[in-house]
Protein backbone atom coordinates (compact mmCIF):
# COMPACT_ATOMS: atom_id res chain seq x y z
CA UNK A 1 0.00 0.00 0.00
CA UNK A 2 2.77 2.39 -0.72
CA UNK A 3 2.08 5.54 -2.62
CA UNK A 4 4.36 8.20 -3.97
CA UNK A 5 3.99 11.57 -2.31
CA UNK A 6 5.83 14.74 -3.08
CA UNK A 7 7.47 16.70 -0.31
CA UNK A 8 4.80 19.39 -0.62
CA UNK A 9 1.99 16.85 -0.13
CA UNK A 10 3.61 14.92 2.71
CA UNK A 11 1.77 16.73 5.50
CA UNK A 12 -1.59 16.23 3.81
CA UNK A 13 -0.89 12.52 3.21
CA UNK A 14 0.14 11.97 6.83
CA UNK A 15 -2.95 13.79 8.13
CA UNK A 16 -5.18 11.72 5.82
CA UNK A 17 -3.75 8.48 7.19
CA UNK A 18 -4.06 9.69 10.80
CA UNK A 19 -7.70 10.67 10.24
CA UNK A 20 -8.43 7.23 8.80
CA UNK A 21 -6.75 5.54 11.78
CA UNK A 22 -8.68 7.72 14.24
CA UNK A 23 -12.00 6.83 12.60
CA UNK A 24 -11.22 3.11 12.76
CA UNK A 25 -10.11 3.20 16.39
CA UNK A 26 -13.09 5.35 17.49
CA UNK A 27 -15.55 2.77 16.23
CA UNK A 28 -13.62 -0.04 17.92
CA UNK A 29 -13.41 1.79 21.23
CA UNK A 30 -17.14 2.62 21.16
CA UNK A 31 -17.97 -1.04 20.54
CA UNK A 32 -15.69 -2.05 23.42
CA UNK A 33 -17.40 0.42 25.77
CA UNK A 34 -20.87 -0.88 24.83
CA UNK A 35 -19.80 -4.50 25.25
CA UNK A 36 -18.19 -3.81 28.62
CA UNK A 37 -21.23 -1.91 29.90
CA UNK A 38 -23.52 -4.80 29.02
CA UNK A 39 -21.15 -7.29 30.65
CA UNK A 40 -21.00 -5.27 33.88
CA UNK A 41 -24.81 -5.06 33.96
CA UNK A 42 -25.09 -8.82 33.48
CA UNK A 43 -22.55 -9.51 36.24
CA UNK A 44 -24.40 -7.26 38.68
CA UNK A 45 -27.68 -8.97 37.82
CA UNK A 46 -26.15 -12.39 38.38
CA UNK A 47 -24.56 -11.60 41.74
CA UNK A 48 -27.22 -9.27 43.18
CA UNK A 49 -29.06 -10.36 46.32
CA UNK A 50 -32.43 -11.84 45.44
CA UNK A 51 -35.51 -11.96 47.55
CA UNK A 52 -38.10 -11.22 44.87
CA UNK A 53 -35.72 -10.68 41.94
CA UNK A 54 -36.96 -7.15 41.23
CA UNK A 55 -33.68 -5.55 42.33
CA UNK A 56 -31.60 -7.70 40.00
CA UNK A 57 -33.96 -7.07 37.08
CA UNK A 58 -33.78 -3.31 37.59
CA UNK A 59 -30.19 -2.94 36.34
CA UNK A 60 -29.79 -1.26 32.94
CA UNK A 61 -27.23 0.46 30.71
CA UNK A 62 -27.70 3.80 28.99
CA UNK A 63 -25.55 5.99 26.77
CA UNK A 64 -24.74 9.04 28.87
CA UNK A 65 -22.60 10.95 26.38
CA UNK A 66 -21.78 10.20 22.78
CA UNK A 67 -19.72 12.30 20.43
CA UNK A 68 -17.86 11.67 17.22
CA UNK A 69 -14.81 10.49 19.13
CA UNK A 70 -16.12 9.19 22.45
CA UNK A 71 -18.83 7.25 24.25
CA UNK A 72 -19.79 7.16 27.91
CA UNK A 73 -22.23 4.59 29.27
CA UNK A 74 -23.80 4.37 32.71
CA UNK A 75 -24.81 1.16 34.45
CA UNK A 76 -27.58 1.96 36.92
CA UNK A 77 -30.59 0.58 38.77
CA UNK A 78 -33.74 1.98 37.16
CA UNK A 79 -36.19 1.88 40.06
CA UNK A 80 -34.34 0.27 42.98
CA UNK A 81 -31.44 2.71 43.21
CA UNK A 82 -32.27 3.41 46.87
CA UNK A 83 -31.28 -0.16 47.77
CA UNK A 84 -27.96 -0.30 45.95
CA UNK A 85 -25.75 1.26 48.64
CA UNK A 86 -27.61 -0.52 51.45
CA UNK A 87 -27.11 -3.94 49.90
CA UNK A 88 -23.54 -3.23 48.81
CA UNK A 89 -22.24 -1.89 52.15
CA UNK A 90 -24.75 -3.15 54.73
CA UNK A 91 -27.01 -1.15 57.00
CA UNK A 92 -28.30 -0.85 60.56
CA UNK A 93 -31.37 -2.82 61.59
CA UNK A 94 -34.38 -1.23 63.23
CA UNK A 95 -34.05 -3.09 66.52
CA UNK A 96 -30.27 -2.74 66.70
CA UNK A 97 -27.42 -4.58 65.06
CA UNK A 98 -26.31 -4.55 61.47
CA UNK A 99 -27.01 -6.38 58.26
CA UNK A 100 -23.79 -7.39 56.53
CA UNK A 101 -23.14 -5.92 53.12
CA UNK A 102 -22.95 -8.10 50.06
CA UNK A 103 -20.51 -6.71 47.53
CA UNK A 104 -21.96 -7.18 44.06
CA UNK A 105 -21.36 -3.83 42.34
CA UNK A 106 -17.66 -3.27 43.14
CA UNK A 107 -16.43 -6.65 41.79
CA UNK A 108 -18.40 -6.15 38.57
CA UNK A 109 -16.98 -2.63 38.23
CA UNK A 110 -13.41 -3.86 38.73
CA UNK A 111 -13.87 -6.64 36.18
CA UNK A 112 -15.37 -4.08 33.78
CA UNK A 113 -12.33 -1.85 34.08
CA UNK A 114 -9.97 -4.73 33.32
CA UNK A 115 -12.16 -5.95 30.46
CA UNK A 116 -12.35 -2.48 28.87
CA UNK A 117 -8.57 -2.12 28.98
CA UNK A 118 -8.13 -5.51 27.30
CA UNK A 119 -10.78 -4.78 24.65
CA UNK A 120 -9.23 -1.42 23.78
CA UNK A 121 -5.75 -2.94 23.53
CA UNK A 122 -7.11 -5.71 21.30
CA UNK A 123 -8.93 -3.18 19.14
CA UNK A 124 -5.84 -1.03 18.69
CA UNK A 125 -3.62 -4.03 17.87
CA UNK A 126 -6.04 -5.47 15.33
CA UNK A 127 -6.65 -2.08 13.79
Give the tens place of pLDDT for each residue, 43-83. 999 999 988 999 999 999 999 998 888 899 999 999 988 99
pLDDT above 90 as % of the chain: 64
CB 72 within 8 A of CB 66: yes
Give the pLDDT band (50/70/90) at residue 5. Answer: confident
Give the number of C-alpha atoms closer than 13 A to the C-alpha of residue 54, restricted to the C-beta side: 6
Distance CA 28, CA 115 (A): 14
Distance CA 76, CA 112 (A): 14
Distance CA 32, CA 58 (A): 23
Mean pLDDT score of the chain, rounded to an integer?
90
Which H or E element spans position 75? strand 70-77
Amino acid sequence: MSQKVSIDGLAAAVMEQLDEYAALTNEGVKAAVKKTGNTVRDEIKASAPQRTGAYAKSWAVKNTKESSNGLEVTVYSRNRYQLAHLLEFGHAKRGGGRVAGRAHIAPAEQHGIEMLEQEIERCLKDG
